[in-house]
A = this chain, B = another copy of it.
């Protein structure tokens, strides 16, 4: 059964997302208003309100595609720990570009709008974790990662470190990421204390 009535304009939909994406890069989510998005997209604000419940929701949808293109997990047959290293570096690299400030803005928006936080966790955090946790579990099985650690806690630490630099606007480089990975892999204790 085809829906009755005028169909949703794909052109408007695409134009709105494109305008949002551009404005996010230029001014950040903090200064993003639905008015500017509508103007640039050649749409009207009522169209935006019809399809998205909040500013955060628009920004989220506009950002997701970009992120999903930028971050890709390609297994290469190394041991799991080596693969995890590569993943972390690629994430840190992505955050170093214009994507970083956008992510920081979204995290900020999540603090003022619970719905945006929900979208963020559902559409970004959860899917990513669903990919990476099995990788870490494989590392525990192939012997490259010791068994007593919880994969989710590993992710809390690593993404936490990256978010930390992001939110405090501390630029990162490969040397920093190597330092983080070194600590994560080897720990800070002079001798194993377990």
Q: Which residues of A are interface residues toward B (Cβ below 8 A)?
A: 28, 30-31, 81, 104-105, 107-112, 117, 120-121, 125, 139, 143-150, 153-154, 156-157, 159-165, 167-170, 176, 179-180, 182-190, 192-194
Nearest-Cβ distance from residue A110 to partner chain B, whole angstroms:
7
List B contacts of A125 (CB < 8 A). 168
Residues of chain B lying within 8 A (CB to CB) of residue A161: 156-157, 160-161
Q: Report copies per complex.
A: 2
Alpha-carbon distance between A28 and B179 when the two chains are bound, in angstroms: 35
Interface secondary structure of A, over-half rule: helix
**What would be 12 A-B contacts, judged by CB atoms less than 8 Å apart?**
A30-B112, A107-B108, A117-B169, A150-B179, A153-B183, A154-B188, A156-B170, A157-B160, A160-B163, A163-B167, A184-B187, A185-B187
C-alpha gap A148/B153 in the complex (Å) = 24
Given A146-B190, A160-B160, CB of A154 within 8 Å of CB of B167: no
Q: A160-B160, A164-B163 are in contact. Are A148 and B189 (CB under 8 A)?
A: no
